[in-house]
């Protein structure tokens, strides 16, 4: 897999992950080109697009297009499975995932993707394992936070208060 893209129906990018080297310029060009091609395709067409000697497999879930760019020799159906797999894991993690979840937790989506794919290869084909790993890491983060200096706790408290004041004053 060369890269993974998540594009909303409006053409907004929700997530990008590059496994082959692309410069920033190339990246935005790729995104522009592909979103043009893919978004203009009507539903009920096939999910494969040939593009610059590669194939792009995409699938639409609600308002999000999941695209993966693969080699010509790769198995398209397998990649389609992979996308579905990713979505199912997201779904399990967020509890019926929606676009907003991905917008606000974009880093988490990344972590999940990282567990799933490494170096552009599928690593973890078990949904349970991915979920377990992510949960473990999250709890690690949580405990780390709790252990963290009291200062940041205070600060966190303070920011919350701040917010409350803010809402009251408004």
Partner 1 sequence: MAGSSSSIMDNLFQRTLDDLIKSMRLQLLNESTFISKSIEDIRREIKSTDPQTKSTALQKLTYLSAIHGVDMSWASFHVVEVMSSSLFSHKRIGYHAASISFHDSTPVLLLITNQLRKDLSSTNHFHASLALHCLSTIATLDLARDLTPDLFNLLSSSRVFIRNKAIAVVLRVFDKYPDAVRVCFKRLVENLESSDPQIVTAVIGVFCELSSKDPRPYLQLAPEFHRILVNSKNNWILIKVLKIFARLAPLEPRLGKKIVEPICDHIRRSGAKSLVFECVRTVITSLSDHESAVKLAVLKIRELLVDQDPNLRYLGLHALSVAAPKHLWAVLENKDAVVKSLDDEDSNIKIESLRLLMAMVSESNVVEISRVLLNYALKSDPEFCNEILGSILTTCGRNDYEIIVDFDWYVSLLGEMATIPHCQKDEEIENQLIDIGMRVKDARLQLVRVARDLLIDPALLGNVYLHKILSAAAWVAGEYVQLVRNPLELIDALVQPRTNLLPPSIRAVYINSVLKVLSFCLDCYLDQDEGTASSYCGNLAGGQSEMFHVKKHTEAPELVATTCEGSNYEQDEGFNPRNTTVESSDDLSDENDTDRAVTLLSMKNFTHESIVSLLNRIELIFSSLTANQDVEVLERARNIFAFVQMVKAEIIDNSGQNVDTVDKKYTQVSAVIKSIRDTFSMELGPVSISAQGRVAVPDGLVLKENLDDLKAICGDIELPSSSSFYTGGPQFGTASDTSSSNPLKNDESGPSNESTSLLEHRKRHGLYYLASDKSETVPNDYPPANDPKANSSTNDEADELAKLTEKSLLLKKRTNQVKPRPVVVKLDDEAAAPIPDKRPEPINDSLSGAIKDVLLGSEINLSVSRRNPLDKSSTKRKGKKKLGTDLPSEMKENLGDAEKPDLENPNPSSKNKERRRRGKEKIVEGEESDQRGKKKSSHRHGKHKTHQRANSPLNVVSQAPVIPDFLL
Nearest C-alpha neighbor of 57 from the set 34, 33, 23: 34
131 binds partner 1 (CB under 8 A): no
Q: Are 70 and 54 in contact (CB under 8 A)?
A: yes
DSSP lists the bridge partners of residue 3 as 18, 69
Question: CA–CA separation, 68 vs 107, rounded Å?
Answer: 19
Nearest C-alpha neighbor of 15 from the set 124, 121, 105: 105
Longest CA pairwise span in the chain (Å): 61
> Angle CA(54)–CA(105)–CA(126) in degrees, nearest 5?
60
- Among residues 9, 52, 62, 140, which is the contact residue for partner 1, using CB under 8 A? 140
146 binds partner 1 (CB under 8 A): no
Closest approach of Cβ 31 to partner 1, in Å? 8
The DSSP code for 123 is -
- Among residues 52, 141, 160, 164, which is the contact residue for partner 1, using CB under 8 A? 141
x/- track of binding to partner 1 for residues 86-115 (CB under 8 A): -----------------xx-xx--xx--x-
x/- track of binding to partner 1 for residues 29-68 (CB under 8 A): -------------x-xxxxxxx------------------
Structure tokens at 77: 């159906």
Closest approach of Cβ 65 to partner 1, in Å? 15
Please give the residue ranges that form the binding site for partner 1 (CB under 8 A).
13-16, 18-19, 21, 23-24, 27-28, 42, 44-50, 71, 73, 75-78, 80-81, 103-104, 106-107, 110-111, 114, 118-119, 121-126, 129, 133, 136-137, 140-141, 144-145, 148, 151-152, 155, 158-159, 162
């Amino acid at each position: 897999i060369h890269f993974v893209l998540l594009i909303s129906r409006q053409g907004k990018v929700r997530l990008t992950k590059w496994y082959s080297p692309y410069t920033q310029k190339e990246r935005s060009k790729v995104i522009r080109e592909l979103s043009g091609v893919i978004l203009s395709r009507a539903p009920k067409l096939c999910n494969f697009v040939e593009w610059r000697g590669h194939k792009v497999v995409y699938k639409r879930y609600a308002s999000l297009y999941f695209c993966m760019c693969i080699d010509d020799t790769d198995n398209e159906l397998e990649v389609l499975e992979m996308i579905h797999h990713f979505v199912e894991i997201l779904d399990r993690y967020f509890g019926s995932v929606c676009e907003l979840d991905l917008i606000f937790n974009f880093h988490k989506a990344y972590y999940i993707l990282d567990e799933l794919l490494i170096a552009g290869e599928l690593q973890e084909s078990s949904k349970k394992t991915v979920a377990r790993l992510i949960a473990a890491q999250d709890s690690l983060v949580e405990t780390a936070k709790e252990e963290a200096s009291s200062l940041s706790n205070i600060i966190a408290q303070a920011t919350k208060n701040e917010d409350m004041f803010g809402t009251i004053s408004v």
